[in-house]
């Protein structure tokens, strides 16, 4: 069965493009009992498409890399941390006007090192509903998945110009 596809306004009619695989880390704090708490969002750097939009950190897979390898590399390059175990979680394709991406979301509960915003981005530990805006369209489904898992009722994020209706 194919993964769901989210089409962002402006990308209609471009669905025939081949998707770029992207590893995405959903870094989650857990308490002593293992209950999931805050999760990390980062803003997109000023020199990238959707600059300033909030997303889960990660990046494109390089030739021959697994999702886990790419995620380890990207989080070290972008955030300066070394991650522990990578737990594959969800996958979705998002068709943006500039690119079609296949997002491989992985939960990460352990990391080492101090966070360094190596691409001059910002970071924010969040709970539902997230307070940062605007939220990248490809992040919205992840917030819904987290809400479903946590039994959260109500909005998952503030209104944003990039929000895509359900």
Round to whole Å and give the CA distance between 142 and 104: 11
Question: Residue 4: pLDDT band by 50, 70, 90 thresholds?
Answer: low
- For position 12, what pLDDT does the model report? 59
Q: Mean pLDDT over all residues of the chain? A: 90
Domain 5-150 has CATH 3.40.50.300: no
The average pLDDT across 7-29 equals 81
Residue 15: other Cβ atoms inside 10 A: 12
What count of Cα atoms within 13 Å lies in the side-chain half-sphere of residue 94? Answer: 22
Task: Give yes or no for residue 34 having a pLDDT over 60.
Answer: yes
Mean pLDDT of 61-76: 98
Is residue 165 very low, low, confident or very high in pLDDT (cuts 50, 70, 90)? very low
Q: How is the chain split into domains, by residue range? A: 5-150
Classified as helix, coil or strand, 28 is: strand
Token pair 């352990």 in the structure block, residue: 110
Among 14-28, 29-43, 81-95, 110-124, where is mean pLDDT lowest? 14-28
pLDDT for 143 beyond 80: yes
- Of 12-16, 65-69, 114-118, least confident by mean pLDDT is 12-16
Cα distance between residue 65 and residue 34, in whole Å:
30
H/E run at residue 73: helix 67-79
Instruction: State the pTM of this model.
Output: 0.88
């Amino acid at each position: 069965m194919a993964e769901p596809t989210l089409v962002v306004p402006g990308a209609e009619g471009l669905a025939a493009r081949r998707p770029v695989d992207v590893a995405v880390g959903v870094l989650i704090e857990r308490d002593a009992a293992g209950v999931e708490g805050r999760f990390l969002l980062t803003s997109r750097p000023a020199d990238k498409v959707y600059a300033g939009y909030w997303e889960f950190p990660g990046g494109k897979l390089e030739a021959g890399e697994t999702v886990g390898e790419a995620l380890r590399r990207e989080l070290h390059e972008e955030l300066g941390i070394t991650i522990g175990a990578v737990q594959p979680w969800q996958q979705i394709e998002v068709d943006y006007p500039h690119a079609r991406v296949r997002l491989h979301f992985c939960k990460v509960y352990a990391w080492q090192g101090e966070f360094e915003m190596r691409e001059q981005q910002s970071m924010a530990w969040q709970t539902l509903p997230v307070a940062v805006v605007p939220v990248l369209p490809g992040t919205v489904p992840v917030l819904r998945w987290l809400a479903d898992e946590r039994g959260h009722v109500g909005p998952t994020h503030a209104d944003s110009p990039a929000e895509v209706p359900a």
